[in-house]
Chain A
């Protein structure tokens, strides 16, 4: 139990105040900031990890589904009823996966008396044979000779020549156009009468009723039902497009202009007879340097006009600074209220060019907007999270008026905002190339203690993407 003595002591001690010295708050503030950065670092690390894991998962899904997709693509047309078979050639080839058209629809088109002109040309006929061969190898039970006989390459040449002639109006048999309703046998015979070569002899069994049989055979191969969820999954994965990007341009610091103005002011003052004040020492002019970025992206169409992109890229930025001679001497410079020992430094006499290089790995996330549906113009805005891998950039000490290497002074985190306008060349389905100007502005300060007035890194250049 507390008696009077304790109470008196307590009262006296409560009264006591002792103001701390000034640097205490500075140290506390620094520690709080460090803690904040650490937490932010953890957050971004986790975020980046999640993105990478997500990207990896999607990539894995797309790889896995490629195999499954091939089966599904072969199987899907065969799911159609026999009644549909006759019209399968007109099942909008564009909407069907290419394999299925080539493997299944071509023979049907002849049987189904559809115009051959809608069929793929000679290029695709090459793949027909190859793919069919592959299919037969995969499914030996269906590859029964005589029953599932599919067109060979030579046979396809004949078919395409018929197509060609039909298109041009050069009818195979005299001046009479080939009646598509004519049975395939007749076509063959007509061809035979024209060419009269051994090729025709080879064709005979091809263009027969047996041409339909592969479908029948494949139909027997079909599972009773294709898992609808798998189909959905495949469709979802299919919507992701892959893209390789290359940005080439120049990088600099955004407030370099203001810094240069300060330098010019100093020069003007000294030339006009005013003694330059040591305190007005300013860093040398910073000029632009070569920069590039290359990476891999996944893009997904989220609506008719909007597209979402995420990826991973390596960026290289550089800037040029004029510095003086390199001196190897022990000295101390002020940095963040502390003194830092430096064993070599550059004077601020603008004699030599010094290239500051920044190697950064970034995870960009962006949205692309297509303002006009018919024009392949894409406007993109995005944000990235990057980590500085290494740099040789120098730190300017205003008090000592020198440059020295201080890696601690450079922020490891990069959060650049990106905007670009690109024009897309290439088909909707195949490979496409898009190119256009890009600008990038790093939201985070480049240096922790910025005495050179170079807070933000800026990049401008040309962005080219190859989509596949």
Chain B
């Protein structure tokens, strides 16, 4: 069943179609939610909320663009709202005025698995994590990120540069660990 037909069936309220819809996107969307949160339970909470929103607003999907992209945007928005509402994350989403931090041109080797990389991203402080996800993974501009998070564009740039530098440092460390283990073998 293609996406358009699936949406049509879901809009008719058919439970079977809703289940297919969920099965089709659940695992990829949980990965999205997982990157923004610190625990799988939180990620599942975001996923649940996101899917409920998606089903409620399915009539707004006009078939322009991919259904996956549409749901992903819902998930990202839901995740950010979740972080803002949740006290565990909210404190780390307060950004002060910072000096511009230049983005280094250094390119690390990416020998890590997707899960390892995701785990490193999740180790970043929530503010860095969110901005990194929004810019590097979702492809939002700093201007857009500023609007989403209610911060200055420059703050977003600065936070991103710091997050990137930290992540590259950790990636290098991981790469070195991998090398040491392989030499030891």
Contact = CB atoms under 8 A, between A and B. Distances in A.
Interface of A: 2-6, 8-10, 12-13, 15-21, 24-25, 27-29, 31-32, 35-36
Contacts of A17: 27-28, 31
Contact of B31 (A2, A8, A13): A13
A112 to B, nearest CB: 71
Q: Is the interface of B mostly helix, strand, loop or mixed?
A: helix
Interface stretch (B47-55, B79-87, B149-157, B173-181): B47-55
A35 to B, nearest CB: 6
Interface string B44-71: 1001100110011000000000000000
Interface stretch (B1-9, B90-98, B104-112, B123-131): B104-112
A19 B18 CA distance: 17
B118 interface: yes
A21 to B, nearest CB: 6
A425 to B, nearest CB: 47
Contacts, number: 81
A16 B26 contact: no
A450 to B, nearest CB: 17
B110 A12 contact: yes
Given A6-B136, A28-B22, A16 B48 contact: no
Nearest to A12: B114
Given A4-B107, A9-B136, A32 B34 contact: no
A28 B44 CA distance: 11
B112 A12 contact: yes
A28 B26 CA distance: 11
Contacts of A6: 135-136
Given A16-B118, A32-B55, A10 B139 contact: yes
Lowest 8 A-B CB distances belong to which pairs? A16-B31, A16-B114, A17-B27, A18-B30, A6-B136, A12-B114, A18-B31, A8-B110
B117 interface: yes
Nearest to A23: B44
B143 interface: no
Given A2-B136, A2-B139, A18-B40, 7 more contacts: A3-B105, A13-B114, A16-B114, A24-B26, A25-B19, A28-B48, A31-B52
A56 B13 CA distance: 35
Q: Is the interface of A mostly helix, strand, loop or mixed?
A: helix
B141 to A, nearest CB: 10
A25 B164 contact: no
A5 B107 contact: yes
B159 to A, nearest CB: 15
A27 B48 contact: yes
A50 B148 CA distance: 43
Interface of B: 13, 15, 18-19, 22, 26-28, 30-31, 34-35, 40, 43-44, 47-48, 51-52, 55-56, 105, 107-108, 110, 112-115, 117-118, 135-137, 139, 164, 168
A19 B30 contact: yes
5 contacts: A5-B110, A5-B136, A5-B164, A17-B31, A32-B52
Contacts of A31: 48, 52
Contact of B117 (A12, A20, A36): A12
A24 B46 CA distance: 10
Contact of A19 (B19, B27, B118, B164): B27
B110 to A, nearest CB: 5
Residue among A4, A9, A10 with max Cβ neighbours from chain B (10 Å): A9
Nearest to B106: A5
A16 B115 CA distance: 7
Residue among A17, A18, A19, A35 with max Cβ neighbours from chain B (10 Å): A18
A6 B108 CA distance: 11
B117 A18 contact: no
A166 B137 CA distance: 108
Contacts of A29: 15, 18
Contacts of B56: 35
Contacts of A12: 110, 112-114, 117
Residue among A6, A8, A12 with max Cβ neighbours from chain B (10 Å): A12
Nearest to B110: A8
Contacts of B55: 28, 32, 35
A36 B13 contact: yes
B26 A5 contact: no
Contacts of A8: 110
A28 B31 CA distance: 18
A9 B117 contact: yes
Contacts of A36: 13
A12 B35 CA distance: 12
Contact of B27 (A9, A18, A28, A32): A18
